[in-house]
Structure 1
Amino acid sequence: MLDILAITTPIFAIIGLGYLARAGRLIGHEAIQGIGTFVMYFALPALVIRALTQNPLKEVFDPRYLLAYGAGSLAVFALGLALTLGLERKSLATAAIQTLGMSASNSGFIGYPVTAMVLGPPAAMFLALNMLIENLLIIPLALILAELGQQAGNGLRETLRQTGLRLARNPVLIGLVIGILLAATGGPLPAPLAKVIDMLAGAAGPAALFVIGGSLYGLKPRGMVRDMGQIAVGKLILHPLAVLGVFLLLPDVDPLLITAALLFACAPMISVYPLFGQRFGLGDVSAAALMVSTLASFLTISLTLWLIRHGGLFVTP
């Protein structure tokens, strides 16, 4: 168990440092937002570009991983919609946002640092694949349903157009496009540019974890135990189980893929989840769910690492 804690403790120690920095007023909310902007607009895109350009393109885009992880995420999304719409009789907008919290991992800020500690450099390749699934499938699907549920009068066509425009400005997706284009040309990057990308990519993990900790400061559950608990259980338990289930249905799957998929799926929901929730009147619930899921993920990620290792799926490159 000590070897598991050796992986998870540094990750959550940096999250704790971010929280303490805010609690001790060493750094303000605006500064945390600034670091988050740096991670989102510079470090994570550089990380994706480095992953795509350091390996042959055919080795990065594994269709089995995309299929299994995407199908598992969609299964949880469908289950969440059925639960909130059918059993709890909530609105489509509420159901879509709550389901988003269950099925979209914080791959960049928590999933990648944890997986990198376990698997090393291959974690960046899986980050690129997860970013495709989350930014082109799960998040757009949730936002389209939420917009339609609010009946803003825009209609499906306008909703799709606005969602597409937002995605086109997503810095991680821009990094994916740049990385794919560079990898497709096959030529090496100029040494100074490669060094800049490498330095930015190296800052992604610790800076992202620090931002998560600083962002958790001040969040309060405020008595929303049922909805908050439902989202957290869906994200930390159902999502990993669904992803694992799909992978086990596929023949001859590389254990490396299973290990990476499980670690990414065990991460709590995306860090901007409260912003999406606030837009649709669920700011408090989504913020509370993010706080609880992030704290609880220390236990679930540690348990998952223990089960993977003793289940014979653990892979060290």
Structure 2
Amino acid sequence: MLDILIIVTPVFLVVAAGYAAVWQKVFSDAAVDGLMIFAQKFAIPCLLFAAMSELDVAAAFDLGVLGAYFISALASFAFAGFGARLLFGRPVQDCIAIGFAVMFANTLLLGLPVTERAYGPDALDANFSIIAFNAAFCYFVGITTMEFARAGVAGVALIRTVLSAMFRNAIMLSIAAGLSVNFLAIPVPSVFMDAVNLIGRAALPAALFGLGGVIYRYKPEGDARTIVFLCLLSLIVQPAMGFGLGALFDLDKEQLRSVVLTAAMAPGITAYIFSDMYGVARRVIASTILFGTALTVVTASFWLAILP
């Protein structure tokens, strides 16, 4: 257990450092905003572009990995949405945003560093495979469901809305660019890739530190029962489904680790951005991100202990 905590704790200490820096006013809100813009619009896209451009697509594009992860994510979206409606009487649009929050695990800021700390940088192929499709999949499900619920938008108008939202996203664009370079065997000058990799190496520490600063802004408000319900689904139920589906699809141990650990991460900031975009369920999702991120220290240790 001590070894597992040694693996997990540094990731969350960086988050805690960002939280403490903003709490003690050593780091301003404006600085946090700037750091998160750098991380989310520059550093993480550089990291993903480099990873996608060099990814062994044939090895990484494994239907078992993608099926185990995204079936469990979609089931979690349904469980969270229907549970929020039936158990807590939340409005329909709140329920969709709540379902999105559970489905959109923090694959980048938590999933990558935890997996890398536990198993090394060579263990991330399945993580990158999941990340390559995660934003597109979750945005497609969330935006499609929300737009239909809000105004009954369908057909071409719905497709236009979904595609517009996805392809304004720097992460989506960087993944698409990296895969294009990979598939088309486009030569990229080494000096350019060196610069990309230099920026990309700053992605995870900058994003983790900034995540701590952003979480400080989230006040622990909202329905406590709903928050507990969402944390349970995010941190226990979804990875358990991923574990079961991974065994069913006969994943090897490296693939199973990536599926389960990625699914076991708390909801990411994107969940709050989605709720804020539609103006629904912001308090409860912000609080879920706050408590879920803190609880991930314990639950990630649990999953690391039982994984092969």
Q: What is the TM-score normalised by the length of structure 1?
A: 0.90
**Counterpart for residue 297 of structure 2:** 298
**Counterpart for residue 126 of structure 1:** 126
How far apart are residue 228 of structure 1 and its match? 1.3
Moved beyond 6 Å, runs of 4+: none
Worse-superposed segment, 82-91 or 50-59: 82-91
**Counterpart for residue 180 of structure 2:** 181
Question: Contact 1:43 / 1:200 at 8 angstroms: preserved in 2?
Answer: yes
CA distance in 1, matches of 2:107, 2:263: 8
**Counterpart for residue 31 of structure 1:** 31
How far apart are residue 132 of structure 1 and its match? 3.4
**Counterpart for residue 68 of structure 1:** 68
User: 1:40-51 alignment to 2 at 5 Å?
Assistant: 40-51=40-51
AA aligned to 2:190 is A
AA aligned to 1:32 is V
CA distance in 2, matches of 1:255, 1:233: 25
Residue 257 (structure 2) pairs with residue 265 (structure 1)? no
Change (3 A) 1:47 1:104: same
Question: Contact 1:128 / 1:176 at 8 angstroms: preserved in 2?
Answer: no
Consecutive unaligned residues in structure 1, runs of 5 or more: none
Question: Contact 2:15 / 2:212 at 8 angstroms: preserved in 1?
Answer: yes
User: 1:182-197 alignment to 2 at 5 Å?
Assistant: 182-186=181-185, 188-197=187-196
CA distance in 2, matches of 1:156, 1:285: 32
What is the RMSD of the two structures over their aligned residues, measured on CA atoms?
1.9
Worse-superposed segment, 229-238 or 131-140: 131-140
**Counterpart for residue 104 of structure 2:** 104
How far apart are residue 133 of structure 1 and its match? 3.4
**Counterpart for residue 168 of structure 1:** 167
**Counterpart for residue 224 of structure 1:** 223
User: 1:231-242 alignment to 2 at 5 Å?
Assistant: 231-242=230-241
Question: Contact 2:104 / 2:271 at 8 angstroms: preserved in 1?
Answer: no
AA aligned to 1:149 is A
How far apart are residue 72 of structure 1 and its match? 1.2
**Counterpart for residue 90 of structure 2:** 90
Question: Contact 1:106 / 1:270 at 8 angstroms: preserved in 2?
Answer: yes
**Counterpart for residue 21 of structure 2:** 21
AA aligned to 1:72 is S
**Counterpart for residue 253 of structure 2:** 255
How far apart are residue 104 of structure 1 and its match? 1.2
Question: Contact 2:222 / 2:284 at 8 angstroms: preserved in 1?
Answer: no
Aligned pairs, number = 307
